């Protein structure tokens, strides 16, 4: 049984990383158009770097939780599972998962806007940092902003098309194209399951609700038992 899993901020919430749209979420504290768009970066690169430097620091201090570890166990046990994440933290990897498709990029990488070179992000990325390859001072975080095309879409599309089960974990389903995966899966007859703190409102065949650290390990154990 081929499985595609999509994770969102809810999977890292119990590691202490803020979600975006919950009552105390990041988008209630920051203006998304200022810190998560190419236009915002062009207007005020220092503000945008400060925002992602703070998020990188929080992510480095955070530890993977039971949901990350359970998903890593599942990936290690089976070769027919594709893990797609909207998260820019590295908690899936630090729990032992490999091959995770980070469709919104990674906080832990710097990207040269001039030549496309990537390198490990320093703790405090600044606009004047020069690219190690082309020396242009156009360093940006390697995250996908609103208005940009998410990464790995061909690979994700192929995995979705071929899968027998689509599982959405800890995401509100507000941001496309990820928000459209469940409809695509249902349209092709793939079974769909939502694991979330509460129903997101999107149409799934089945939903299990509660904190990720409880419901994800329970679901994974069920799959591993067969
Ligand atoms: P959201 O903040 O929109 O949604 C988080 C979801 O996690 C909600 O449905 C919560 O109910 C759920 N949740 C919260 N705590 C949980 C817990 N302990 N266990 C399980 N579920 C929990 O975050 P995302 O859906 O990930 O993109 O947001 C999608 C994208 O919007 C992000 O990747 C980011 C953001 O703008 C970009 O910045 C491009």
Query: For residue 189, is it left (φ>0), alpha (ψ between -120 and 50) or beta?
Result: left
Q: Ligand 1 centroid to 120 CA: how many Å?
A: 25
- The domains spanning 1-17+64-104+150-226 and 21-61+108-143 adopt the same CATH topology: no
Interval 48-80: pLDDT, tens:
999 999 999 999 999 999 999 999 999 999 999
Confidence of residue 226 (pLDDT cuts 50, 70, 90): confident
Tokens standing for residue 39: 């236009």
From 5, 7, 8, mutation site for ligand 1 pocket: most ligand atoms within 8 A of C-beta? 8
Give the pLDDT mean for 30-39. 96
CA–CA distance, 156 with 82 (Å, rounded to integer)? 8
- Cα diameter, the chain: 53
CATH number of the structural domain 21-61+108-143? 3.30.1600.10
**What is the DSSP-derived secondary structure letter of residue 156?**
H
The C-alpha angle with vertex 99 and arms to 98 and 101, in degrees rounded to 5, equals 125
Q: Is the bond preceding 177 in cis, omega lying within 30 degrees of 0?
A: yes
Whether 68 is catalytic: no
What is the best residue among 5, 7, 15, 22 to mutate for testing ligand 1's pocket, by most ligand atoms within 8 Å of CB? Answer: 22
CB atoms closer than 10 angstroms to residue 163: 23
Alpha helices in the chain (DSSP H): 26-29, 32-35, 38-43, 45-61, 66-77, 91-94, 153-162, 181-187, 212-225
Element (H, E) at 82: strand 81-85
pLDDT tens-place string over residues 166-185? 999 999 999 999 999 999 99
The answer to whether 220 touches 177, Cβ cutoff 8 Å, is no
Which token pair is 177?
A: 């194209």
Candidates 49, 104, 129, 152; catalytic one: 104
pLDDT digits (tens, 9 = 90+) for 101-153: 999 999 999 999 999 999 999 999 998 899 999 999 999 999 999 999 999 99
Burial of 7: CB neighbours in 10 Å, binned 0-12, 13-18, 19+:
buried
Superfamily of domain 1-17+64-104+150-226: TPP-binding domain (3.40.50.1220)
Which atom number of ligand 1 is nearest to the Cα of residue 178? 29
So where are the chain's domains? 1-17+64-104+150-226, 21-61+108-143
| Token couple for 131 | 């690219």
Which DSSP helix (H) or strand (E) runs through 3?
strand 3-7
């Amino acid at each position: 049984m081929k499985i595609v899993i999509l994770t969102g901020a809810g999977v890292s919430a119990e590691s202490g990383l803020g979600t975006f749209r919950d009552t105390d979420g990041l988008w209630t504290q920051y203006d998304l158009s200022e810190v998560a768009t190419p236009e915002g970066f062009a207007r005020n690169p220092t503000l945008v770097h400060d925002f992602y430097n703070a998020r990188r620091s929080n992510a480095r201090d955070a530890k993977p939780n039971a949901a990350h570890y359970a998903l890593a166990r599942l990936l290690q046990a089976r070769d027919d599972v594709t893990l797609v994440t909207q998260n820019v933290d590295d908690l899936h990897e630090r729990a032992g998962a490999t091959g995770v498709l980070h469709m919104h990029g990674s906080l832990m990488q710097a990207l040269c806007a001039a030549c496309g070179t990537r390198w490990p992000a320093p703790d405090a990325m600044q606009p004047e940092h020069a690219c190690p390859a082309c020396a242009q001072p156009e360093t940006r975080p390697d995250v996908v902003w609103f208005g940009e095309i998410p990464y790995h879409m061909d690979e994700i599309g192929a995995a979705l098309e071929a899968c027998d089960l689509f599982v959405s974990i800890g995401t509100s389903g507000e941001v496309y194209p990820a928000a459209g995966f469940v409809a695509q899966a249902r349209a092709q007859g793939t079974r769909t399951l939502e694991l979330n703190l509460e129903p997101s409102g999107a149409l799934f065949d089945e939903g299990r609700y509660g904190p990720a650290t409880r419901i994800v390990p329970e679901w994974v154990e069920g799959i591993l038992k067969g």
